[in-house]
Amino acid sequence: MTVMPEAAATDRTMAGSPSGLESALDRVGDRWSLLVVDALLDGPRRFGELREALPAIAPNILTDRLRRLERERILVSTPYSTRPPRMEYGLTGDGRDLASALRLLSDWGSRRTGGEPLRHERCGTPIEARWFCPTCGLPVGDAEIGGTDESRLV
C-alpha cells in the first residue's frame, strides 16, 4: 500500500508535536499569505491598496487570507471608517518577524531564476545568510546546529 505524502505528514504530526517548520507553514504556508505579508512590510495598507499591490489575487481570496492572517496574529486590522466599515491592515510583531524569512526565500527564488542576488549596498558584494550565536558572538556552522528537529534542514 502506498502512503500519500499528506497522510505521512499528518501521521508524523499526530505522533508528536509539529516541527517548527510545520507550525510556520500552518500559519503562513500558502503563496498568497506570504505575498500579503510581503506587501505589508512597508507599512499598513487598505484593501484596495493591497489589491493594487497584488493584482493577480481575487478579492475573495484576499479577504480570506486577511482574515486568516489576523486569526494567526500575523496582522491586525484597524478601522479607518465606520460608515461604511473599512479597515486598514498592518503587521504585528510576529508579522514583521517574517521579513527576514521572506527576504531569504525571495533571494533563493531569485537565484534559481537567474535574478540578481541581494547585495550589500556599500560595496555591491552578494550577501550571505549566516547563523549567529548572540551569547558567544560567533557565527555558527551547519555542523554546530542541534537540539531541535529543525537542525536536519541545514
| Out of 4-8, 16-20, 72-76, 89-93, least confident range | 4-8
Q: Are 89 and 80 in contact (CB under 8 A)?
A: no
Please give the angle made by the CA atoms of 103, 149 and 136, to the nearest 5 degrees. 70
Of residues 130 and 44, the one with the higher pLDDT is 44
CATH architecture of 17-116: Orthogonal Bundle (1.10)
Q: How many CA atoms lie within 13 A of 143 on its CB side?
A: 0
C-alpha closest to that of 105 among 5, 28, 45, 10: 28
Sorted by sequence, the CB contacts under 8 Å of residue 72 that are 6+ apart come out as 27, 28, 94
Give 113's DSSP letter.
T
Over range 44-72, report the average pLDDT. 97
Residue 146 one-letter amino acid: G
Percent of the chain exceeding pLDDT 70 equals 85
Of residues 106 and 6, the one with the higher pLDDT is 106
Q: What is the pTM of this model?
A: 0.73
Q: Are 94 and 73 in contact (CB under 8 A)?
A: yes
| Out of 32-41, 51-60, 88-97, 120-129, least confident range | 120-129
